[in-house]
Structure 1
Amino acid sequence: MQQKIQQHWWAFALPMLAVLIWSMNIAVTRYVVDYISPISISFYRWLVAFIVLTPFMLIKVWQQRNIVRENFTQLAVLSAFGMVLYQGLSYFASHETTATNMGIINAFIPVFTIFVSMLLLKEIPNRFAVIGSMLSLFGLLYVMAQGDFSSLLGLGGHLGDVIMIVAVFFYAFYGVFLKKWQLKVPLMISVYIQIAFALIYHIPFIIWLGLDPIDSQNGLSVLYAGLFPSLIAPLLWMMAVQYIGPNRTSIFMNLMPVFTAIIAYFWLKEAWTVYHTIGGVIIILGIALAQKKTRRAVVNKPLTDV
């Protein structure tokens, strides 16, 4: 019994470390904007991950080729939404907004997932989800407006935030598609095939926009993006889901704005202001409320992965 308790306490470090890695990647994304184009780092990121995984996954993919073929279209769609549209737009957003704002907007994934679930799965949100979502949206607009809502009338200054919001919305679609389809493809094979599709999707953009070379200024950032947020963090997250469950694991995503702001403050010298504090608190309270279930929902809702 004691061993089981210790194992569970140890497991709580897994999602925290995963969120820290993803938060660090947001700061890396913001740092490297002057050294490599968005399309280039996006392509290199998945290329590194693909090269690392290939020796371990190629034979397994061949052995499971019938399952992969049966889910070919779904894997292609998941890759488009989760690895290209979300990640790619994030890199473009980093040119127009701060890492701190990107971290705050990323925390909106659970809220946006509620609305996408309503659209695709016909799931009617409960009163907590509606009130919490509205509260979080108010907090986000407060942060974007820097405490002055009249400034929202000028879109130019908020282009990066808007792009990041669109990116997060695409990731919400990714999560809902995963839930809707419930693919029987082994997890790592699914990730590997999605990465392969992501590389293919990048080809037209590379032909059109070109590809920056990897050099001493951007090399470490590319390596970090390809290894830690692409492979290590998802693995830690999946392990956390197995140990402590998807619901408790998902709560740790709310730490992303905090981790990102701390990293951006000390590394990128981004200021943490009063409006970040006020808006951030409102957003986190709203997200927490949006994930609260009514008593009936808790009884009927099956346990699903994040």
Structure 2
Amino acid sequence: MMGRYWANAFPIAAVLLWGGNAVVTKASAGVIGAAEIAFWRWLIAAALLLPFAINPLRTQWGDVRRNLGKQAILGLLGSALFPTLMYLAASHTSAINMGVIQSLMPIMALGLAMALFRQRFSAVVWAGALLSLLGVAIVVTGGSPARLLARGVNPGDAIMLAATACFALYSTLVRKWRNDLPQVTNLFLQAAFASAVLSVPFALTPRVGINAGNVAIVLYAAVLASIAAPLLWMAGIVRIGPARAANFFNGLPVVAAVFAVLFLGERVTLAMLPGVVLVIGGVMLAERYAARPLGSKAG
């Protein structure tokens, strides 16, 4: 029984670190540019991962070479585009909104699985998706979804939606492109490709450099959000399975909101609470029925 509880600690720790990253990302706005922090984040991560990845790179070079193209695409989506868009969004929206929107990732991944791989899902799955979207609309409009018709989507929220779509596509392709390489090697390859791609906007945009005011933010992003959280998440999936691990991911908007209130002084209004409940409930409903063959009965 104790072993089961300890196994749950892995995905819980990952979600706590990702929730904290929403706060850190918001805190980065104004102290370091989006392209700059994204570049340093993945360059540092690649450097830290290299000693652990070097042996598999040598002994499994054949597998590495066959998967280089796929890892490059994954690095572009999950390590370059996703965080860079998050950093851009942070200048225009709150950490609470970022956490809530990011929690739509499983719903987006289901839609991509249907579009790209012709998977079919029941009406209940799409009902859950609609509930989640309604919940996001309530949160980002402060409890008045009708504002979307009058004012449109906040630029920061729109950018965060694009970031989440990139990560959903990344997650979908990761499942499709599984390989026999150690997870640390895959992470290194993606980090290396991301830092190479991000070196271009890094060189072309104004830079402030790593200094006393942003070094903690950069290190959190590079070490805890980029290395520790993914490895903890994968360890949790191995121990408790993807379905149970997904239940912990659904707590991300709550974690992000609590951290945003504690560390950034953001406010959660009563009007936003039904939206958070709808987001979490809708995602859980969709995930539960997506795991069942079409036409099966609920247990």
Asked if Structure 1 and Structure 2 have the same fold, meaning a TM-score greater than 0.5 normalized by the shorter chain, the answer is yes
Give the match for residue 50 of structure 1: 46
Alpha-carbon distance in 2 for matches of 1:146, 1:26: 19
Q: Give the 3-state SS of the residue equivalent to 2:63 in structure 1.
A: helix
- Structure 2 counterparts to residues 266-305 of structure 1, below 5 A: 266-293=262-289, 297=293
Alpha-carbon distance in 1 for matches of 2:255, 2:144: 25
Give the match for residue 101 of structure 1: 97
Give per-residue Cα distances to partners, 1:47-91, cap 9 Å, x unaligned: 121121122222321222211111111111111111111111011
Give the match for residue 236 of structure 1: 232
* Change over 3 Å in CA distance of 1:212–1:65 after alignment to 2: farther
* Change over 3 Å in CA distance of 1:249–1:296 after alignment to 2: closer
Deviation at 1:194, TM superposition (A): 0.6
Alignment RMSD, CA only?
Answer: 1.7
Structure 2 residues not aligned, in runs of 5+: none
Give the match for residue 82 of structure 1: 78
Aligned residue pairs, count = 295
Residue pair 1:24, 1:263 contacting (<8 A) in 2 also: yes
Does 2:118 correspond to 1:122? yes
Give per-residue Cα distances to partners, 1:151-177, cap 9 Å, x unaligned: 22323x611011101110111111111
| Counterpart residue identity of residue 119, structure 1 | A
* Change over 3 Å in CA distance of 1:296–1:105 after alignment to 2: closer
Deviation at 1:292, TM superposition (A): 1.8
Structure 1 residues not aligned, in runs of 5+: 301-306
Residue pair 2:41, 2:222 contacting (<8 A) in 1 also: yes
1:183 to 168, 179, 184: 179
Give the match for residue 247 of structure 1: 243
TM-score normalised by length of structure 2:
0.94
* Change over 3 Å in CA distance of 1:294–1:234 after alignment to 2: closer
Does 2:196 correspond to 1:200? yes
Residue pair 1:11, 1:243 contacting (<8 A) in 2 also: yes
Residue pair 2:261, 2:267 contacting (<8 A) in 1 also: yes
Alpha-carbon distance in 2 for matches of 1:294, 1:112: 12
Residue pair 1:129, 1:291 contacting (<8 A) in 2 also: yes
TM-score normalised by length of structure 1:
0.92
| Counterpart residue identity of residue 167, structure 1 | A
Does 2:264 correspond to 1:258? no
* Change over 3 Å in CA distance of 1:6–1:237 after alignment to 2: same
Residue pair 2:139, 2:276 contacting (<8 A) in 1 also: yes
Identical aligned pairs, as a percentage? 33
2:168 to 169, 172, 186: 172
Residue pair 1:128, 1:292 contacting (<8 A) in 2 also: no
